[in-house]
């Protein structure tokens, strides 16, 4: 089975974010970047499917040069090769335009299965996978917690709300968006890191794929959210702060 | 193109609760834009709201949800009704089909919005650390999904609406997903919604071996222990203790969030709590946007001190 995993590089989770002078994106200098967490679970699922059923795992990633570090990490974990769509300014592409770029690149591989995370930790629009499926003419399912091969197709477990789940079948090829927690993530081994150095990374640009930048929706500005509540900060040493909180819990919330 | 179309969601027991919030949002936008507002309702769920029209979307192939079926049906309805704005509740189901539907019209869904002001659609970035205003190209159809709680169902203007049956032409071969009936994993042994006090733990706890640190606090306070999703994903606490959009929704007297940054998926499950306490080392963590009391510091120092102080106060 040939599996493509679309993954995104995002600022590390604990990053302190500052709005860039343009007011339209964050200041990316001084940030460290990592694989978007749900995409890491998608990669792990692909690697496990390959171990069970054979085949090939291809990483697909659009991003500037720095994204190469996340691609290397995916190769070190066991992906076979990668396609890096190297673009410095992805801000000029809205979700639809970027999904076009990814779909074009994915189509050249004729994959049996395309996996990606259910959403990104930065933009969080949760759409790239579904839009890719539509553009590629593939059936899809989202927020997936289990993937099984069933005959010539798939049987997948969708997470619904409030603790409900549902199985659904669909033919291959297909696209799935993977929920965090579907599996246990592996670490790259030293051997894996060594091997990754000789694995193929194909570099392309969006222009090579014939997809021009386009935005039907543009960012007017980004800013820190206003506080909904006036948080009373209890300061002092840990002990002093704890004592102040106990006062509040006892005399205001009345739960002690 | 004119007017607003609200696509509602029908759950296992009638309309999904976020459907009414979305109808309220549609009514508000209708007043602001001076344009009519209609709603699409699947199955036979009752809806009483002041609307210009209710479309009852009916077809045998729509009795169980599929992304392919819903997309095809709504594509046909949008062609007929020709709305300028299509609104959805930002539910799991909507996340499954609305991006596909918007793509059919060459548009991008503006997802999970928290408000709309003067043509700018506001949504959160970086798990709630920043907000962004998005501007659709003028003259294009807007597709937007609305975050839980961003509009209030009690602001809904009650009333009636002329109903129209909309039966799209659907071909069974269009529906590639074959859904099975929904199920619950197991009977829930833990009902967090009954607890007066909840101590909830997030990524800040760093590793499973540290869980007893917060267990001690829960014990001292006579509280139920809960967690944000990543803790349950890692198997450090059982899934049934998860609070948030994929877990339980709680509103205790006191909710103590320990090492929880406050991603929206978590906030929707607990922001109705009467008093919220946040203990976090990051003063910019979104959890402080909803907290009544905050302690900025290392939880491994603060929580043991708190356990001592609680025990002291209890005598």
Examine the fold and report which residue of B174, B201, B216 is the final residue of a domain before the chain moves on: B174
CA B89 distance to own-chain centroid: 8
Q: Does the beta carbon of B292 lie under 8 angstroms from any beta carbon of chain A?
A: yes
Of the candidates A133, A220, A229, the beta carbon closest to that of B292 is on A229
Across A78-117, b (16+ Cβ under 10 Å) vs e yields bbbebbbbbbeebeebbbbbbbbbbbbbbbebebbbbbbb
Of the candidates B128, B178, B183, the beta carbon closest to that of A225 is on B128
What's the CATH code of the domain at B224?
3.40.50.1220
Task: Please answer yes or no on whether B294 and A248 come within 8 Å at the CB atom.
Answer: no
Of the candidates A13, A216, A231, the beta carbon closest to that of B140 is on A216
CB B125 within 8 A of CB B131: yes
In the three-class reduction of DSSP (H, G, I as helix; E, B as strand; rest coil), residue B167 is classed as coil
Alpha helices in A1-118 (DSSP H): 37-53, 68-77, 95-107
Examine the fold and report which residue of B144, B174, B204 is the final residue of a domain before the chain moves on: B174
Give the strands of the sheet with B224-227, arranged side by side.
A232-233, B293-296, B275-280, B254-258, B197-201, B224-227
Mean pLDDT score of chain B, rounded to an integer?
A: 94
Give domain status of residue B183, yes or no. Answer: no
**pLDDT at site B11:** 84
Q: Is A198 left (phi over 0), alpha (psi -120 to 50) or beta?
A: alpha
Is 90 exceeded by the pLDDT of residue A26?
yes
Give domain status of residue B156, yes or no. Answer: yes
- Residue A124: count other Cβ atoms within 10 Å of its Cβ: 21
Same domain, B141 and B212: no
CB B22 within 8 A of CB B146: yes
Across B277-292, b (16+ Cβ under 10 Å) vs e yields bbbbbbeebbbbbbbb
Question: Chains A and B: how many Cβ contacts under 8 Å?
Answer: 257
Residues 165-184 of B with CB under 8 A from A: 176-184
Examine the fold and report which residue of B122, B147, B174 is the final residue of a domain before the chain moves on: B174
- Residue B114: count other Cβ atoms within 10 Å of its Cβ: 18
Is 80 exceeded by the pLDDT of residue A228?
no
Q: Which residue has the tokens 């066991």?
A: A78
Same domain, B20 and B80: yes
**pLDDT at site A19:** 95
Same domain, B93 and B50: yes
Same domain, B166 and B233: no
CB < 8 Å to A236, chain B: none
Low-confidence ranges of chain B (pLDDT < 70): 186-188
Give domain status of residue B92, yes or no. Answer: yes
Q: Is the ipTM of this complex over 0.90?
A: yes
Same domain, B161 and B213: no
Q: Identify the bridge partners of residue B227 per DSSP, sorted by sequence position.
A: B201, B242
Same domain, B196 and B295: yes
Tokens (6 digits) for B94 = 């909507």
Give domain status of residue B224, yes or no. Answer: yes
**pLDDT at site B17:** 86
pLDDT band at residue A14 under the 50/70/90 scheme:
confident
How close A217 gets to chain B, by Cα (Å)?
A: 4
**Domain of B61?**
4-174
Of the candidates A127, A223, A256, the beta carbon closest to that of B131 is on A223
CB B217 within 8 A of CB B165: no
**pLDDT at site B187:** 62
How close B162 gets to chain A, by Cα (Å)?
A: 31
How close B55 gets to chain A, by Cα (Å)?
A: 25
Which phi and psi (to 5°) does residue A51 adopt?
-65, -35
Q: Does the beta carbon of B28 lie under 8 angstroms from any beta carbon of chain A?
A: no
Same domain, B215 and B77: no
Same domain, B135 and B217: no
**pLDDT at site B186:** 66
Which phi and psi (to 5°) does residue B244 adopt?
140, -170
Same domain, B47 and B144: yes
* Per-residue pLDDT tens digits for A97-117: 999 999 999 999 999 999 999
Mean pLDDT score of chain A, rounded to an integer?
A: 95
Same domain, B218 and B273: yes
3-state SS of A102-134? HHHHHHCCCCCEEEEECCCCCCCCCCHHHHHHH
Which phi and psi (to 5°) does residue A223 adopt?
-160, 160
For residues A62-74, average pLDDT: 97
Most A CBs within 10 Å, among B176, B235, B258, to test the A interface: B176
Domains and CATH numbers, chain A: 2-204 (3.40.50.620), 225-256 (no CATH)
**Rounded to whole angstroms, how far apart are CA atoms B284 and B242?**
23
CB B107 within 8 A of CB B140: yes
Give domain status of residue B303, yes or no. Answer: yes
* Per-residue pLDDT tens digits for B81-126: 999 999 999 999 999 999 999 999 999 999 999 999 989 999 999 9
Element (H, E) at B22: helix B17-33
For residues A223-241, average pLDDT: 90
- Residue A205: count other Cβ atoms within 10 Å of its Cβ: 14
Give domain status of residue B127, yes or no. Answer: yes
Where are the extended beta strands (E) located within B147-292?
163-166, 178-179, 183-184, 197-201, 224-227, 254-258, 275-280
* Per-residue pLDDT tens digits for A171-211: 999 999 999 999 999 999 999 999 999 999 999 999 999 99
How many domains does chain B fold into? 2
Same domain, B217 and B157: no
- Residue B303: count other Cβ atoms within 10 Å of its Cβ: 27
What's the CATH code of the domain at B47?
3.40.50.620
Q: Which candidate, B105, B92, B91, B93, places its Cα nearest to that of B143? A: B105
Same domain, B154 and B287: no
First to last CA, chain B: 69
The vertex-A73 CA angle with A100 and A156, nearest 5°, equals 60
* Per-residue pLDDT tens digits for B142-181: 999 999 889 999 999 999 999 999 999 999 999 999 999 9
**Rounded to whole angstroms, how far apart are CA atoms A103 and A121?**
21
Q: Which candidate, B138, B93, B104, places its Cα nearest to that of B118? A: B138
How close B166 gets to chain A, by Cα (Å)?
A: 24
* Per-residue pLDDT tens digits for A69-78: 999 999 999 9
């Amino acid at each position: 089975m040939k599996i493509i995993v679309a993954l995104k590089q995002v600022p590390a989770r604990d990053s302190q974010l500052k709005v860039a002078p343009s007011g339209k994106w964050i200041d990316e200098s001084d940030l460290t970047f990592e694989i978007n967490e749900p995409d890491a679970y998608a990669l792990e699922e692909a690697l496990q499917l390959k171990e069970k059923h054979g085949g090939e795992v291809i990483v697909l990633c659009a991003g500037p040069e720095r994204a190469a570090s996340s691609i290397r990490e995916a190769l070190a974990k066991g992906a076979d090769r990668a396609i890096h769509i190297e673009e410095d300014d992805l801000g000029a592409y809205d979700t639809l335009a970027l999904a076009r770029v990814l779909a074009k690149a994915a189509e050249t591989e004729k994959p049996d299965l395309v996996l990606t995370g259910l959403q990104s930790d930065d933009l969080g629009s949760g759409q790239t996978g579904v839009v890719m499926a539509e553009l590629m003419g593939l059936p899809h399912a989202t927020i997936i917690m289990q993937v099984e091969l069933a005959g010539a197709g798939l049987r997948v477990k969708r997470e619904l709300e409030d603790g409900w789940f549902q199985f659904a079948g669909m033919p291959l090829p297909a696209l799935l968006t993977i929920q965090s927690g579907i599996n246990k993530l592996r670490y790259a081994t030293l051997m894996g890191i060594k091997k990754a150095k000789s694995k193929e990374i194909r570099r392309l640009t969006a222009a090579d794929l014939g997809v021009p930048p386009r935005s039907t929706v543009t960012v007017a500005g980004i800013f820190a959210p206003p506080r909904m509540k006036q948080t009373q900060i209890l300061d002092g040493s840990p002990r002093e702060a704890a004592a102040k909180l106990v006062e509040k819990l006892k005399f205001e919330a009345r739960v002690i | 193109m004119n007017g607003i179309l609200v696509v509602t969601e029908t759950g296992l027991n009638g309309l999904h609760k976020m459907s009414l919030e979305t109808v309220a949002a549609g009514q508000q936008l209708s007043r602001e834009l001076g344009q009519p507002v209609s709603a699409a309702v699947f199955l036979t769920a009752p809806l009483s709201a002041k609307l210009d029209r209710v479309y009852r979307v009916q077809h045998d192939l729509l009795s169980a949800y599929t992304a392919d079926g819903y997309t095809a049906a709504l594509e046909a309805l949008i062609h007929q009704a020709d709305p300028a704005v299509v609104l959805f509740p930002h539910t799991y189901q909507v996340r499954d089909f609305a991006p596909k539907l918007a793509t059919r019209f060459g548009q991008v869904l503006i997802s999970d919005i928290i408000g709309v002001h003067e043509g700018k659609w506001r949504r959160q970035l970086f798990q709630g650390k920043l907000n962004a205003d998005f501007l659709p190209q003028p003259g294009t159809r807007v597709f937007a999904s609305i975050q839980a709680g961003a509009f209030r169902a009690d602001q809904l203007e009650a009333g009636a609406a002329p109903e129209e049956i909309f039966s799209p032409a659907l071909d069974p071969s269009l529906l590639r997903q074959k859904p099975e009936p929904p199920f619950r994993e197991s009977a829930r042994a833990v009902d967090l919604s009954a607890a007066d006090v909840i101590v909830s733990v997030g990524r800040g706890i760093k590793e499973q071996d540290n869980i007893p640190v917060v267990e001690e606090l829960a014990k001292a306070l006579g509280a139920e222990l809960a967690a944000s999703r990543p803790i349950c994903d890692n198997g450090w606490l059982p899934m049934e203790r998860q609070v948030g959009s994929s877990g339980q929704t709680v509103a205790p007297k006191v909710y103590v969030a320990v090492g929880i940054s406050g991603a929206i998926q978590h906030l929707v499950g607990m922001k109705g709590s009467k008093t919220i306490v946040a203990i976090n080392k990051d003063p910019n963590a979104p959890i402080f946007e909803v907290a009544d009391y905050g302690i900025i510091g290392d939880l491994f120092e603060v929580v043991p001190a708190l356990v001592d102080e609680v025990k002291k106060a209890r005598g």
